[in-house]
Amino acid sequence: MPASETLQKAWDEANSLIENGEPEKALGILRDVAWSECKNDTQRSQTSRYAADAGMLWGEMDANAQKKRWQKAYKNYKTSLDFNPKDKETRRRMNKLASMMDENGISINSGFQMFSEGNPTPIGILTIVVASMIFLTSFKVVTEAIDPEGIGLWNALSGDDSSNIVLMNSTVVLEISYVDSSDTRIDVDVEIEMKPDFAPIHVENFLKLTSDGKYDNTEFHRIIDDFMIQGGDIDHLEGRGGYAGQWFGFCDGQARNSSDDCDSSSWTIPDETSSENPGLLHESCTISMAKTSPPNTGGSQFFLIPEDSEPHHLDGVHTVFGEIVSGCNHITAISEVPTTGSDNPVNTVQLKNAYIMM
């Protein structure tokens, strides 16, 4: 459905005001006129994107209110993508804003904050402690009702049972160290939002490896400009090793009923993508599972796609299981570092730490 004359006029006026450095007036038109004229998700997506553009500019112009303006703008970009997830231009603008916020030490979320720049705030620490006490108390009551001896709880917590409790709707923070274009080694944070609705096994495996500290002090061993950066070799750090975080029923890509005859170093996970049902696509600023040519051979290695890459030839072959929501500019910068003829970085790119931000 084409935009009505009133809606198109409102868009044009808003964009003109943005170009002329009047974002506040642009937001007023978008809020008071354009939004009520939207008749479908495409129009709502575009209106939200224009509002985000105005908010981003307003934050640049008003340093005192920059945090609030940019957080609201980021939210509007997310709203725009909720209405139209395939809008690549909106995603690029959102990633640009996220990079600007990251460089200025501004957290993406507004309001109550448990974490700031990857670290728990005082309120966050208190909340975590209280929530943990409530959770453990309630969990104890439930488990005593259905498992008086506490055997199931012990197995889950000790790792003797594969049915672990996993925080599926999580964001993983990667603390990466690399040498930038000025030959200075810097430490950066990259936040990745998991997508369990599309690839639950891959998310569970990644979170398990992360929570077990398997990714700490590993390296990004393979880097190709305009393509991706690859890491996650928890064995040899150079791309020859890696395995699943727990037993998912596959040994070196072959389905097995039991792990009894399969060493843990050979555990792999099943593919959650196919040509008929590719799931999430290999868009810029996403994370996907590395594997060998045979199916179901993913383990711990993964690759991150920079802002200037969209390797759709991998759709339906490799499983995308998350989205980089902050720090994608660093992934782009890392993808451009000097490499050897074997695609190994000349200067070590280290994944110093990986943790789950709840």
Q: Report whether pLDDT(172) > 60.
A: yes
Cα(93)–Cα(46) distance, rounded to whole angstroms?
13
Give the tens place of pLDDT for each residue, 196-232.
999 999 999 999 999 999 999 999 999 999 999 999 9
Q: Report whether pLDDT(173) > 90.
A: yes
pLDDT score recorded for residue 17: 95
pLDDT score recorded for residue 121: 47
The predicted model gives 299-308 an average pLDDT of 97
The predicted model gives 331-345 an average pLDDT of 95
171 close to 308: Cβ distance less than 8 angstroms? no
Give the tens place of pLDDT for each residue, 110-140.
444 444 444 444 445 555 555 556 555 554 4
Give the tens place of pLDDT for each residue, 42-74.
999 999 999 999 999 999 999 888 988 998 898
Q: Report whether pLDDT(148) > 50.
A: no
pLDDT score recorded for residue 167: 46
pLDDT score recorded for residue 91: 85
**More confident call, 92 vs 249:** 249
N-terminal to C-terminal alpha carbon distance within the chain: 40
281: left (phi over 0), alpha (psi -120 to 50) or beta: beta
| Residue 115 neighbours by CB distance under 10 Å | 17
pLDDT score recorded for residue 56: 94
Q: What is the DSSP string of 45-59?
A: HHHHHHHHHHHHHHH
**More confident call, 117 vs 322:** 322
- For residue 107, name the pLDDT band (cuts at 50, 70, 90): confident
CATH superfamily assigned to domain 166-357 = Cyclophilin-like (2.40.100.10)
Report the alpha-carbon angle 356-159-149, nearest 5.
Answer: 120
The predicted model gives 76-89 an average pLDDT of 85
Q: Percent of the chain beyond pLDDT 70?
A: 82
The encoded tokens of residue 301 equal: 């290695």
Q: What is the DSSP string of 147-183?
A: -TT-HHHHHHHHT-SS------S-EEEEEEEEE-TTS
What is the assigned CATH class of domain 5-103? mainly alpha
Q: Which residues of 325-357 are buried (b: 16+ CB within 10 A; e: fewer)?
A: bbbbbbbbbbbebebeeeebbeeebbbebbbeb
Q: Which amino acid, 325?
A: V
Cα(196)–Cα(167) distance, rounded to whole angstroms?
10
Query: Minimum mean pLDDT among 26-40, 246-260, 311-325: which range?
Result: 26-40
299 close to 323: Cβ distance less than 8 angstroms? no
- Please state the domain extents for the chain: 5-103, 112-161, 166-357
pLDDT score recorded for residue 29: 93
Cα(116)–Cα(105) distance, rounded to whole angstroms?
9
Mean pLDDT of the chain: 84
> Torsions phi, psi of 152, nearest 5?
-60, -40
Residues 6+ apart with CB under 8 A from 87: 45, 49, 80, 81
